[in-house]
Amino acid sequence: MTLSDQNIDAAALGKVAVLMGGDSAEREISLLSGNGVLRALRARGVDAHAFDTAARDLSELKAQGFARCFIALHGRHGEDGTVQGALELLGIPYTGPGVMASSIAMDKTMTKRIWRFEGLPTPDWRLAASSGEVSQAFAELGSPMIVKPVREGSTLGLTKVVSAGQCDAAWQLAARHDPQVLCEQFIAGDEITCALLGQGAQARALPLIRIVAPQGNYDFQNKYYTDAVRYDCPSGLPEEEEREMQRLSLAAYRSLSCRGWARVDIMVRASDRQPFLLEINTSPGMTGHSLVPMAARACGVSYEALCLQILAGASLDAWQGRGGPA
């Protein structure tokens, strides 16, 4: 797979809906992503239209003749398999992983179980349904410990717990977003992300990005609204380490049967340079601060070209292996 849009006929892609907004906690970021994608596709000659799923019924997509969708939704009802399932029923090809892959990837514990089964490294964890279970997890996993909602993104509801006295507040914060709470062993070291494009044996990993946040605090505010975070791309890692992280990311992506595109987050333990998979994002951000466009630029691929290539790969689960849309 080459990162090129030179052979993509924008007119042949038909009428395109850029799904954005929605009703998740990440609505604001989705609108930023979606409007960026919309401008990029229109600049490349695509007949693209904004479609806020919180304001319009998905049935309008079929009624108004949309040929495919670019999913720029984040969080629940956007990258958890629900919208993907609706589009399958409507028969409208969409960007990114399919129903099962999206649903599993949104659930951090299910993702970690599959990775652990496949022999892929991920931090140890416990699932908690009460503050008492968070306290028990802290006793077992030790300090520091990360507490976060099982099905949420953008570090929403996340706490770094360093003392037993923080467990109840950490539970309360995470439980506002999800009744299931993940308690995860903290890995101290380099924070790395790897963007992936394509499917199966043709999937490719883009250059790694090393994230250097103030006091290691890569939170919602620093992710989207400040310039305090440093992004190293090239990552500055030794070449053999970079190749290993890309190999690991591809294995994580393929283990969930992802297609289209995604982004894998990794921590590299400082003490022994052991990598640990944290999570996978199946509808990554496309804002001015987002990481997939940054990795693409390192390959000489513009934001517009990246959007067009992702859109051209829109497909349906029902078509896989049947000679349908690629």
Give mean pLDDT, residues 160-174. 96
Active-site residues, by number, are: 26, 154, 224, 263, 265, 279, 281, 285
In Å, what is the CA distance from 154 to each residue of 85, 132, 242, 266, 297? 23, 26, 24, 15, 22
In the prediction, which pLDDT does 92 show? 97
Neighbour tally for 160: CB within 10 Å: 16
Whether residue 292 has pLDDT greater than 70: yes
Domain with CATH 3.40.50.20 in the chain: 10-96+307-319
In the prediction, which pLDDT does 147 show? 96
Neighbour tally for 168: CB within 10 Å: 14
Rg of the chain taking only CA atoms, in angstroms: 19
Whether residue 9 has pLDDT greater than 50: yes
Whether residue 1 has pLDDT greater than 50: no
What SS3 class is residue 261? strand
Angle, alpha carbons 294-203-251 (nearest 5°): 95
Give mean pLDDT, residues 263-271. 96
- CATH architecture of the domain 125-185 equals 2-Layer Sandwich (3.30)
Contact (CB, 8 A) for 29 and 224: yes
Q: pLDDT class for 25, splitting at 50, 70, 90?
A: confident
Domain with CATH 3.30.1490.20 in the chain: 125-185
Neighbour tally for 139: CB within 10 Å: 12
Give mean pLDDT, residues 269-275. 96
Give mean pLDDT, residues 201-209. 96
In the prediction, which pLDDT does 322 show? 46
In the prediction, which pLDDT does 76 show? 85
Q: pLDDT class for 318, splitting at 50, 70, 90?
A: confident
Beta strands in 198-236 (DSSP E): 204-205, 209-212, 230-232
Both tokens assigned to 143: 């300090």
Whether residue 155 has pLDDT greater than 90: no
In the prediction, which pLDDT does 156 show? 85
Please state whether the peptide bond connecting residue 293 to the residue before it is cis, i.e. omega within 30 degrees of 0: no
What SS3 class is residue 220? helix
Whether residue 197 has pLDDT greater than 80: yes
Both tokens assigned to 157: 């509801």
Superfamily for the 105-121+187-303 domain: ATP-grasp fold, B domain (3.30.470.20)
Mean pLDDT value across the chain? 91
In the chain, how many H helices and how many E strands?
11, 13
Contact (CB, 8 A) for 304 and 149: no
Q: pLDDT class for 263, splitting at 50, 70, 90?
A: very high
Q: What is the CATH number of domain 10-96+307-319?
A: 3.40.50.20
Q: pLDDT class for 10, splitting at 50, 70, 90?
A: very high
Q: pLDDT class for 271, splitting at 50, 70, 90?
A: very high
Both tokens assigned to 278: 């944290």
Q: pLDDT class for 54, splitting at 50, 70, 90?
A: very high
In Å, what is the CA distance from 29 to each residue of 76, 153, 180, 260? 13, 11, 23, 21
Return the bridge partners of 17, or none.
Answer: 49, 69
CA 162 – CA 137 distance, rounded (Å):
12
In the prediction, which pLDDT does 324 show? 46
Among the ranges given (38-42, 142-146, 161-165, 175-179), the one the predictor scored with the smallest mean pLDDT:
175-179
- pTM (2 d.p.): 0.90
In Å, what is the CA distance from 271 to each residue of 33, 122, 124, 172, 267? 36, 16, 17, 32, 12
In the prediction, which pLDDT does 136 show? 97
- Beta strand 204-205 pairing with 189-197: antiparallel
Residue 164, φ and ψ in degrees, nearest 5: -60, -30
Whether residue 310 has pLDDT greater than 50: yes
pLDDT in tens, 82-129: 999 999 999 999 999 999 999 999 999 999 999 999 999 999 999 999
Return the bridge partners of 19, or none.
Answer: 51, 71
Residue 124, φ and ψ in degrees, nearest 5: -65, 155
